[in-house]
A = this chain, B = another copy of it.
């Protein structure tokens, strides 16, 4: 998606440890106009399949998923990162390892909101090593529902998960794919 790639080049910052920071438009401040274009593009890409529900994970996935869901006219569900006293005990759960925070955490989705046979589109802001996406897929599968695909705003192809998942037959549509990233050489997209 050209608009997104241009924005990443213009406003993305490469931090220590070759981390891509897109805080100014995607995951701290959100450019809602851009997110609307992102949502429409996901709709275009997944227009050939039935989607009953959009699933994401808190926190920064929520904005993209909410905006995207309006173009599909379906409910959005976000997996929560820890069990809150406000959530039913009756949940699907899975484990995510966060490479950013170097720790494992649980995600939970109430059994009320995922049903057998539902066609689920997973939406997230980033795909790196795929731990969050695989945890969401497990939750969908535990519910007897089906992951019809994953819509990712920014994929870091050099971290491998996107390619692995596609090899396993999972449909992954990423709007920007980053092949290389370094303070010294900047950002190179995967073509």
Contact = CB atoms under 8 A, between A and B. Distances in A.
A69 B23 contact: no
Q: How many copies does the complex hold?
A: 2
Interface string A71-100: 001111110110011111000000000001
Given A23-B112, A59-B58, A101 B75 contact: no
A69 B31 CA distance: 9
A62 B66 contact: yes
Contacts of A86: 15, 19, 21, 23, 27, 100
Nearest to A35: B66
Contact of A69 (B15, B32, B109): B32
Interface secondary structure of A, over-half rule: mixed
A30 interface: yes
Contact of A59 (B35, B62, B88): B62
A66 B63 contact: yes
A119 B65 CA distance: 27
Given A15-B86, A59-B62, A75 B28 contact: no
28 contacts: A19-B85, A23-B87, A23-B110, A23-B113, A24-B113, A27-B86, A28-B78, A28-B110, A29-B76, A29-B113, A30-B66, A30-B76, A30-B77, A30-B78, A32-B70, A32-B73, A32-B75, A35-B66, A58-B58, A59-B62, A63-B65, A63-B66, A63-B78, A66-B66, A67-B70, A84-B100, A84-B101, A85-B100
- For the complex of A and B, the 3 pairs showing the least CB-CB separation, nearest first, are A58-B59, A63-B66, A62-B62
